[in-house]
């Protein structure tokens, strides 16, 4: 059984940038495969939040109406394809492993 964590303003999450986030002017700088630090600044529901994301250079970028992936949810996909023609993950937020473990302990 999966545990839903209710997001609240001020909580920390990981942001997984999309290919779009790393292109053009104002692009995020990140290390491939690593999440970015993010803080919840507004909550629209258990799976939709606004974030302030900090890239690896310390630049703060607001991201609005971002999917918050809960335990057992599928990763959202964007319209960009990888070199093999497969859709790539869209920008999304997720709870850190520690947070999901603590929530699971609390629900038992």
75 domain residue, yes or no: yes
Segments forming the whole domain that contains residue 92: 12-99
Count of domains observed in the chain? 1
Residue 5 lies in a domain: no
Distance CA 97, CA 67 (A): 17
Of the candidate ranges 32-46, 52-66, 83-97, the one whose mean pLDDT is the lowest: 83-97
- Whether the pLDDT of residue 46 is over 70: the answer is yes
pLDDT above 70 for 88: no
| b/e code 67-103 from CB counts within 10 Å (16+ = b) | bbbbeeeeebeeeeeeeeeeeebbbbbbbeeeebeeb
Of 79 and 95, the one with more pLDDT: 95
Please check whether residue 22 lies inside any domain of the structure: yes
Inside any domain, residue 104: no
Please check whether residue 55 lies inside any domain of the structure: yes
Residue for token pair 């303003």:
9
């Amino acid at each position: 059984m999966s545990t839903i964590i209710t997001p609240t303003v001020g909580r920390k999450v990981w942001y997984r940038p999309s290919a779009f986030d790393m292109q053009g002017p104002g692009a995020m700088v990140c290390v491939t495969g690593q999440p970015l630090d993010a803080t919840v600044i507004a909550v629209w529901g258990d799976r939709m939040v606004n974030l302030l994301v900090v890239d690896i250079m310390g630049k703060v970028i607001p991201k609005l109406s971002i999917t918050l992936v809960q335990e057992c949810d599928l990763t959202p996909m964007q319209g960009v394809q990888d070199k093999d023609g497969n859709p790539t993950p869209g920008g999304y937020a997720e709870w850190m492993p520690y947070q999901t473990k603590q929530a699971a302990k609390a629900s038992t």
